[in-house]
Chain A
Amino acid sequence: MMRTRSKFPFKAAAIMAALALYTMVPFGMSSYMQRVINVMMITFLCVLSVYVLLGMCGQNSFAQAGLWGVGAYITANLTMKLGMGSLPAFLLSTLGTALLAFLLGFFFFRLRQYYFTFASVGLMTILNGLFMNWEPVTGGAMGYKDIAVFSIFGFSANTEISKFFVILLVCIIAGLMMRLLSKSSLGRSFMAIRDDEMAANCMGVNSLLTKSIAFAISGALCGAAGSLYASLSGYLSYQSFTFQQSTMYMIMVMLGGTYSWTGSIIGTMIISLLQEFVRPLQNFMLLIYGVGIMAMMVFQPEGLLGGGKALYDYISKRRKAGSVAETGL
């Protein structure tokens, strides 16, 4: 490609090192904290789903926790009622949620901008209502108990550490797919819609289809997260899949910045860990988030990562200032 590349892949090396370091995190932790970390990674997948929609495609959905629930309930039904294995249940949950999101998107995206957001709020409410009341499928208010843990080829992820690696693997795959997506023509058409929908249409981008695909991809991420959540916690309750949870995802994305999918990592980590470490302040958390987000929008609208990138650009520009930039094609 024409892009300029540095000789040594510093970025890749740094990512690998960070990842290697991260795999050591759960060792020596209490099983409670291990669980917190696991839930955090599942949350990350949902946050990534918001990133795809909002960060890449510019569409705002408050239904992500609902889609997360759809994935979880599909897995619960498949494994408990049909006795399906973990992996096929995981794949079907992912695909099923993606398909549902695609079909819904195909109707919803006839609405533009804010109206889609309103519709997504309605969807969230309906899904939550279904989770609570559709007893034969969702277990109603009682939910599901004793969902089988994730197991594959005789290996059973019954400890928090083994669950950690299963979820991490899914997160890494999701991350790699995000990277591919952001460099693909599909990703570019998402970004074209985000930045200027009319110009995108004039460049041959089919808004309705492209947005529906974006919603389907975000649905797939939520479905995967839901499936993992079902087999991780073993217990499902409609109370997990709420509008408020969707809002939290949104806050995490905005905190990290919609600049790049890596912002979602930062946003998820900060908020998830904050929730743990400042538990005594639980009652004030919403207030803190609210004020925090407002301050963020005023002072750092591109999120923490956006600020980081601005700083990086500034430093590298100053470094280059002496010699004329020799970046060619």
Chain B
Amino acid sequence: MTISQKDGKPVLSLKQVSKNFGGVVAAKNVDLDFFGGEIVGLIGPNGAGKSTLVNLITGIYSVDSGTITFKGKDITRLPTYQRARMGIARTFQHPRLLDRCSLFDNIMLGVDLARKTGRVLKQDIQSDMKALLRQCNMDGMALEGMISQLPYGQQKLIEIIRAILGEPDVLLLDEPAAGLNSSETRYIVSLMEIAVKQNISVLLIEHSMDLVMEVCDRLTVLNFGYQIANGSPSEIQENQAVIDAYLGSSRAC
């Protein structure tokens, strides 16, 4: 894939970001840079603050301190929808789609976003959509069908397709492969590859170490809100603090 550290400016940058919920530390002085066209893995045990970090980046939670810079602009205080329009897309741990709408309407929500921001530069949305669906072996599906009729795995794939069609610069994937079978996981990987080709910076939160080690260019490890390690997959595998906090325990079971 791409080289792990790139020259030039990061597209998204977190500086000393902290968030507490009452007495619980969800994020403490997190520093993280994202560059276009790379996949950053965010790992850590349950409750480490991974999803919280995504919620901070998308503005669903506000940060207690620290700054978030996106494409050179300080977005720390911007509302969620503005960040989305600027180019931060995300998916959720459990797919959050328009349950009462068709597959078509769900996908079009992504296209709407791209149109709203004037980001659709490409000639043909329909062919993009088709190509993405074909990538997941879903191009034979009736677009009129209700989204709620689809199996869980396909709903998760649709959520990612919707996000990519929004033409984002950053794509935050919150456990995309959780609960998916192996072929669906392969589709997730190919969608991530498409995103990387479009120079999108991908953040991957994932519990499956095999997947993380395979696709990520860089990893950062959270534990109780603290960033305990950064580095390439192989460096992280060797890191004693990480092994103690996470890998060791998960490998044992």
Which A residues contact B (CB, under 8 angstroms)?
2-4, 185, 188-189, 191-192, 194-196, 198-207, 259, 325, 327-329
Contact = CB atoms under 8 A, between A and B. Distances in A.
5 contacts: A188-B109, A194-B98, A199-B92, A202-B81, A204-B84
Interface of B: 58, 60, 79-82, 84-85, 89-90, 92, 96-101, 104-105, 108-110, 112-113, 115-117, 126, 129-130, 133, 139-140, 142-144, 162, 166
B104 A2 contact: yes
A325 B58 CA distance: 40
A4 to B, nearest CB: 7
A4 B102 CA distance: 13
A259 B146 CA distance: 12
Contacts of A259: 100
A325 to B, nearest CB: 7
A310 B58 CA distance: 38
A199 B144 contact: no
Contact of B96 (A199, A206, A327): A199
A196 B96 contact: yes
B112 to A, nearest CB: 4
Contacts of A195: 97-101
A200 B80 CA distance: 10
Q: What 6 A-B pairs are tightest by C-beta distance, nearest first?
A: A199-B96, A204-B84, A201-B80, A185-B112, A327-B142, A195-B98
Contacts of B85: 204
B229 to A, nearest CB: 29
Nearest to B125: A2
B105 A199 contact: no
B104 A191 contact: no
B97 A196 contact: yes
A189 B112 contact: yes
Contact of A329 (B58, B98, B105, B130): B130
Given A329-B130, A329-B143, A203 B113 contact: yes
Given A185-B112, A198-B96, A199-B96, A205 B81 contact: yes
A1 to B, nearest CB: 8
Contacts of A4: 142-144
B126 A191 contact: no
Contact of B112 (A3, A188, A325): A188
Given A203-B112, A328-B140, 7 more contacts: A185-B115, A188-B105, A191-B101, A201-B84, A202-B81, A203-B110, A329-B140
B148 to A, nearest CB: 10
Contact of B84 (A3, A188, A203): A203
A200 B162 CA distance: 12
Nearest to A207: B81
Contacts of A188: 98, 101, 105, 108-109, 112
Q: Which of B115, B116, B130 has the most CB of A within 10 A?
A: B116
B104 to A, nearest CB: 7
A11 to B, nearest CB: 13
A202 B89 contact: yes
A269 to B, nearest CB: 24
Nearest to B143: A2
Contacts of A201: 60, 79-81, 84
